[in-house]
Structure 1
Amino acid sequence: MKRSVALRLSAVLGTAGVAGAIALGLPQENASAATNIATGFASQNGGTTGGAGGTTVKATTGTQIHTALCTRASSDTPIIIQVEGTINHGNTTKVSGASCNTAADRIELKEISNVTIVGVGAGATFDQLGIHIRDSSNIIVQNVTVKNVKKSGSPLSNGGDAISMESTVRNVWVDHTTLIASGGESEGFDGLFDMKNDTQYVTLSYSILRNSGRGGLIGSSESDTGNGFITFHHNKYENIDSRTPLLRGGIAHIYNNHYFDLHESGINSRAGAKAKVDNNYFEDSKDVLGTFYTDAAGYWQVSGNIFDNVTWSAPGTDNKPAGPNVTSNTSVSIPYAFTPDNASCVPSIVASTAGAGTGLKVSTGSCSVTTSPTASVSPTVSPTTSPSTTVSPTVSPTPTAPSGTNLSIGAGADGSSKAGGTSYGNVKDGNLSTIWSPNGATGDISIKWSAATKVSRINIVEASGSAIGAYQVLNGATGAVLASGTGGGSISIPATTTTKLTFKITSSSGTPKIAEFQTFA
Structure 2
Amino acid sequence: MRRSISLKIGTALATAAVVIAGVAMSMNSASAQTTGATGYATQNGGTTGGAGGQTVRATTGTQIHAALCNRASSSTPIIIQVEGTINHGNTSKVSGGSCNTADGVIELKQISNVTLVGVGSGAVFDQLGIHIREASNIIIQNVTVKNVKKSGSPTSNGGDAIGMESGVRNVWVDHTTLEASGGESEGYDGLFDMKNDTKYVTLSYSILRNSERGGLVGSGDSDTANSFITYHHNLYQNLNSRVPLLRAGTAHTYNNHFTGIVESGINSRVGAKVKVDNNYFEDSKDVLGTFYTDLRGTWQVSGNIFDNVTWSSPGSDNYPAGPNPTSTTTVSIPYSYPLDRAECVPAIVAETAGANKGLKVSDGNCSSQTPSTGPTSPTANPTDPTTSPTDPGQPGGTNLSLSADADGSSKASGTSYGNVRDGNMSTYWSPTSSTGRVSIKWDSATTVSKVVIREPTGTTGSIGSWRLVNNGNGAVLASGTGAGTITFSATSLTKINFEITSSNGTPKIAEFETYAS
Same fold (TM over 0.5): yes
Hey, what does 1:53 align to over in structure 2? 52
> Which amino acid in 2 is paired with 1:52?
A
Calculate percent identity across the aligned residue pairs.
75
1:354 aligned partner? 353
Identify if the C-alpha distance between structure 1 residues 379 and 192 changes in structure 2 by more than 3 Å, giving closer, same or farther: closer
Structure 1: any 5+ residue segments left out of the alignment?
A: 10-33, 386-521
The one of 375, 378, 381 equivalent to 2:378 is: 375
Is the CA contact 1:6–1:187 (under 8 Å) kept in the aligned structure 2? no
Q: Distance in 2 between matches of 1:7 and 1:44?
A: 37
Q: Distance in 2 between matches of 1:35 and 1:343?
A: 21
- Please, what is the CA RMSD of the aligned residues? 1.8
Q: CA separation of 1:197/1:229 partners in 2, compared to 1, >3 Å: closer, same or farther?
A: same
Is 1:273 aligned to residue 276 of structure 2?
no
Distance change (3 Å), C-alpha of 1:237 and 1:317 = same
Structure 1: which 4+ aligned runs deviate by more than 3 Å?
A: 379-385
SS in 2 for 1:84: strand
Structure 2 counterpart of 1:375, which letter?
Answer: P
Q: Secondary structure at the match of 2:191?
A: strand
The alpha-carbon deviation at position 317 of structure 1 amounts to 1.2
Distance 1:281 1:380 in 2: 42
Would you say the 8 A contact 2:162–2:193 is kept in 1? yes
- The equivalences for 1:186-197 within 5 A come to 186-197=185-196
Equivalents in 2 of 1:50, 1:72: separation in Å?
Answer: 14
Q: What does 1:382-393 correspond to in 2, within 5 Å?
A: 384=387
Unaligned runs of 5+ in 2: 8-32, 389-517
1:329 paired residue number: 328
Structure 1 SS opposite 2:347: helix
**Are residue 293 (structure 1) and residue 296 (structure 2) matched?**
no
Once the two structures are superposed, residues 40-96 of structure 1 have per-residue CA deviations (whole angstroms, 9 ceiling, x without a partner) of: 000000000000000000000000000000010000000000000000000000000
1:264-302 residue CA offsets vs partner (Å, 9 max, x unmatched): 000000000000000000000000000000000100000
SS of 1:213's partner is: strand
Q: Secondary structure at the match of 2:324?
A: coil
Residue 369 of structure 2 aligns to which amino acid in structure 1? Answer: T
Aligned 8 A contact 1:5 1:184 in 2: no
- Name the SS of the counterpart of 1:105 in structure 2: coil
Alpha-carbon separation, structure 2, partners of 1:222 and 1:7:
27
Q: Give, in whole Å, the separation in 1 of the partners of 2:69 and 2:382.
A: 24
In the TM superposition, residue 382 of structure 1 has moved relative to its aligned partner by 9.2
Q: Which amino acid aligns with 1:272?
A: G
Q: Tell me the equivalent position of 1:413.
A: none
C-alpha deviation, 1:193, in angstroms: 0.1
Counterpart CA distance in 1 for 2:56 and 2:36 is 20
> Which runs of structure 2 are paired with 1:244-259 in the superposition (5 Å)?
244-259=243-258
Distance in 1 separating the partners of 2:34 and 2:77: 16
Superposition deviation, residue 121 in structure 1: 3.3
The answer to whether the 8 Å contact 1:5/1:213 transfers is no
Determine if contact 2:56/2:383 at 8 Å carries over to the other structure: no
Deviations 1:97-136 (A, max 9, x none): 0000001010000000000000003430000000000000
Alignment of 1:403-422 (within 5 A): none
Whole-Å Cα distance in 1 between the matches of residues 5 and 164 of structure 2? 29
Amino acid at match of 1:6: S
Q: Is the contact between residue 5 and residue 212 of structure 2 (CA under 8 Å) also seen in structure 1?
A: no
Q: Secondary structure at the match of 1:72?
A: coil
Q: Whole-Å Cα distance in 2 between the matches of residues 69 and 381 of structure 1?
A: 13
What does residue 447 of structure 1 align with?
Answer: none
Residue aligned with 2:120, SS: coil
Paired residue for 1:198?
197
- Contact 1:128 1:146 (C-alpha < 8 Å) held by counterparts: yes
Rounded to whole Å, the distance in 2 between the matches of 1:35 and 1:83 is 21
SS at match of 1:191: coil
Q: CA deviation at 1:6?
A: 2.3
2:101 aligns to what? 102
Which residue is equivalent to 1:77?
76
Aligned partner of 2:128 in structure 1 is 129
SS at match of 2:308: strand
Cα pair 2:37 2:172 within 8 Å, conserved: yes
Q: Is the 8 A contact 2:338 2:364 kept in 1?
A: yes
2:149 is matched with which residue?
150
More displaced stretch, 266-275 vs 376-385: 376-385
Query: CA offsets per residue over residues 219-238 of structure 1, 9 Å max, x none?
Result: 00011111010000000000
